[in-house]
């Protein structure tokens, strides 16, 4: 995964599906913290952190209230040095905007070891949580997933924005998993064919990674089946059991998603599609679902 990180970052920049959910998700957070003077954002897997430049620009240019401090806490289980480098990049960008900024890293062996005291929350802060294609890693560990949601709830967040893969391959039957994988990944490869050259090194490395994921989903059982995904309906039922309330995505968030897709040559033919599912957004490729974006409030 260390060797694949540059390839993955390059890949995500070329695929409009991921950029659409990134911009729409950031817009949802911006709207939720717009009235706050001190904002504390908890990210469960920050990656490059580029998504927060949009948030920083919005906070730095708003007139009232003036933001006194933006704090981003990145949660990680490995690659502390990579996360710290992301923090340095964001700190430099915040400095160019004259935006008061603090970056913190919370390293744990496993997300099941996470607790709210590690976040160093302060009175007067408005907390927001961002989770992008992270929670699915814990589907095979339900106790860990439930523990994480309880910890996040105890931080008293204003909002939680979640992006997840819109697939249902967490199934017992081999045949059901096979057809679900065939449907989902056929769409994925079709998207890559339209958006990236076959000779692109990033594409080739990601294709190899996807091959490993497909093999794991289809050929493994029990604890050996690490790769699992659920659709928005299953996540909705899970979150509701913890008292989370689904919130409608604003028109501004939808506009951000549509706007960013127009910057991609492979998106101008309306191949990247948007569909509402309840109050959430499903981003797809030629009508086939690929990612879900949902916004949640804790009560």
- Would you state the pLDDT for residue 56? 95
Total domains, the chain: 1
- Would you state the pLDDT for residue 160? 97
Question: Is position 179 within any domain?
Answer: no
**C-alpha span between 60 and 147 (Å, rounded):** 35
Question: Is position 195 within any domain?
Answer: no
pLDDT in tens, the chain (299 residues): 445 567 777 788 889 999 999 999 999 999 999 999 999 999 999 988 888 998 999 999 987 888 999 999 999 998 899 899 999 999 999 999 999 999 999 999 988 889 999 999 999 999 999 999 999 999 999 999 999 999 999 999 999 999 999 999 999 999 999 999 999 999 999 999 999 999 999 999 899 999 999 999 999 998 899 999 999 999 999 999 999 999 999 999 999 999 999 888 886 657 999 999 999 999 999 999 999 999 999 87
Question: Is position 144 within any domain?
Answer: yes
**C-alpha span between 75 and 77 (Å, rounded):** 7
Pairing state between β 244-247 and 288-298: antiparallel
Q: How far is CA 182 from CA 41, 186, 195, 218, 271, in A?
A: 37, 6, 20, 10, 19
Question: Is position 190 within any domain?
Answer: no
Check if the beta carbon of residue 57 is closer than 8 Å to that of residue 77: no
- Would you state the pLDDT for residue 223? 86
Question: Is position 273 within any domain?
Answer: yes
**C-alpha span between 92 and 211 (Å, rounded):** 38
Check if the beta carbon of residue 108 is closer than 8 Å to that of residue 74: no
- Would you state the pLDDT for residue 95? 96
Check if the beta carbon of residue 47 is closer than 8 Å to that of residue 4: no
**Residue range(s) defining the domain that contains residue 277:** 15-168+229-298
Question: Is position 208 within any domain?
Answer: no
Q: Helices (H), strands (E): how many in the chain?
A: 9, 9
Question: Is position 21 within any domain?
Answer: yes
- Domain with residue 25: its CATH number is 3.40.50.150
Question: Is position 95 within any domain?
Answer: yes
């Amino acid at each position: 995964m260390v060797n694949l990180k540059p390839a993955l970052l390059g890949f995500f920049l070329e695929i409009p599906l991921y950029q659409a959910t990134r911009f729409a998700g950031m817009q949802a957070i911006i709207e939720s913290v717009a009235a706050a003077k001190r904002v504390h954002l908890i990210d469960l897997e920050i990656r490059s952190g580029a998504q927060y430049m949009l948030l920083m620009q919005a906070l730095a240019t708003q007139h009232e209230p003036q933001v006194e401090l933006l704090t981003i806490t990145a949660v990680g289980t490995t690659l502390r040095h990579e996360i710290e480098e992301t923090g340095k990049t964001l700190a430099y960008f915040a400095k160019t905007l004259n935006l008061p900024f603090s970056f913190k890293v919370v390293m744990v062996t496993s997300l099941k070891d996470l607790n709210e005291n590690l976040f160093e929350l302060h009175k007067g802060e408005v907390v927001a949580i961002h989770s992008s294609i992270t929670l699915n890693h814990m589907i095979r560990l339900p106790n860990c997933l439930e523990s994480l949601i309880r910890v996040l709830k105890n931080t008293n967040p204003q909002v939680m924005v979640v992006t997840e893969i819109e697939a249902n391959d967490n199934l017992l039957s081999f045949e059901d998993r096979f057809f679900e994988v065939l449907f989902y990944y056929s769409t994925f490869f079709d998207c890559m064919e339209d958006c990236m050259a076959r000779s692109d090194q990033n594409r080739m490395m990601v294709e190899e990674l996807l091959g490993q994921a497909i093999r794991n989903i289809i050929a493994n059982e029990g604890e050996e089946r690490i790769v699992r995904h659920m659709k928005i309906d299953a996540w909705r039922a899970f979150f509701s059991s913890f008292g989370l309330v689904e919130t409608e995505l604003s028109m501004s968030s939808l506009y951000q998603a549509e706007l960013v897709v127009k910057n991609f040559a492979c998106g101008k033919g309306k191949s990247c599609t948007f569909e509402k599912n309840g109050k959430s957004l499903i981003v797809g490729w030629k009508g086939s679902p690929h990612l879900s974006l949902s916004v949640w409030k804790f009560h």
